[in-house]
Structure 1
């Protein structure tokens, strides 16, 4: 079962911790079960981290890196705001899978933890800033662009929530078309 020749990086451990968080929140991050899942001994963990708190901090940083500004880079590079919004909405909605666990939604159960609060705030801010800028570039005044961004982002999070609980949700391609029709100004 344990493959001693497997060399895991700190990032491998952080990504495994993120999967555990998606499945069960911060409480699901435990060294021994993660080591079993990864097929290594606990010693591999201690080669990278002193304790569970360091792993959680690294996992949250990895999530922020991949889902905050860094994860949005491909969209910020799109100059045409209508195309940017269409591609962003399509990518996000198509990534929503029925009954799939979500780091973002799981973290909400731990929102009183200052590390979680900060990570969620960073991701939300990056996403809202991109949406707000995009709506502003599409011609909405700043206040209205910010409001539209919040409504669109709230709808996206709502779709994510529904997908976790509804195995019969419509196909994501249909939802992507609907999201584009609703949230792309005409």
Structure 2
């Protein structure tokens, strides 16, 4: 167990809950197993949260922030839209690892939970907004930019899904190059 000097924060618990969600959805968030994983007693949990629902809400809020606007800020700051798109696609596709669990995909099984709907909606809106803005800056009309953003985002989510089930997927670098080539190919 951890010593008094190494107390866990509420954020540590939320991040542990996100790992559990990635591997098994909301049902995988349980205080005792998380405490064991973190090497602490349940008392540490109750120092930060009243119950499991509060932890899930905090974890989803953290995921929404880190994978939504806050997580995209470094890309949004890139002035050249072609470079922005290339870097975004490269980072996202290279992060897709064979058989790796995914919070986003795991949450889809709990998509009717209002907290999950809100978190996924927040992340989807931020990602689609950035992609749409990028395609607008590349010269596409508003409607085409929005459509292209949806197709690019769907491809990214599809690659994430395939990575969870396909141990023989091509190297992430190859996929990143292909994604950039496809989604930067036609600007009209």
| TM-based fold match above 0.5 | yes
Q: Give 1:75 shift.
A: 0.2
RMSD over aligned CA atoms reads 0.7
For 1:172 and 1:145, how far apart are their aligned partners in 2? 26
Aligned to 1:34: 34
- SS of corresponding position for 1:184: helix
What's the CA shift string for 1:54-89, capped at 9, x where partnerless? 000000000011000000000000010000000000
Task: For residues 148-181 of structure 1, give each alpha carbon's deviation from its aligned partner in whole angstroms, at most 9, with x where no partner exists.
Answer: 0000000000000000000000000000000000
Alpha-carbon distance between aligned partners in 1 of 2:31 and 2:185, rounded to the nearest angstrom:
48
Give the Cα separation in 2 of the matches to 1:176 and 1:185: 14
CA contact (8 A) 1:100 1:164 kept: yes
Q: What CA distance in whole angstroms lies between the structure 2 residues aligned with 1:153 and 1:88?
A: 11
Alpha-carbon distance between aligned partners in 2 of 1:58 and 1:178, rounded to the nearest angstrom? 36
The residue correspondences of 1:146-185 to structure 2 (distance < 5 A) are: 146-185=146-185
Cα separation, 2, equivalents of 1:40 and 1:105: 29
Work out the CA distance in 2 between the residues paired with 1:22 and 1:29.
10
TM-score (norm 2): 0.97
Contact 1:138–1:185 at 8 Å: present in 2 too? no
Q: Which residue of 2 aligns with 1:9?
A: 9
Query: Residues of 2 paired with 1:101 and 1:80: CA distance?
Result: 32
SS in structure 1 of the partner of residue 97 of structure 2:
coil
Shift of 1:185: 3.5
The Cα shift of 1:121 comes to: 0.4
CA distance in 2, matches of 1:60, 1:111: 12
Residues 58-137 of structure 1 aligned to structure 2 (within 5 Å): 58-137=58-137
What is the distance in 2 between the residues matched to 1:9 and 1:3?
A: 12
Q: Structure 1: 5+ residue runs without aligned partners?
A: none
- What is the CA–CA distance in structure 2 between the aligned matches of 1:122 and 1:32, rounded to whole Å? 30
Decide which moves more: 176-185 or 95-104.
176-185
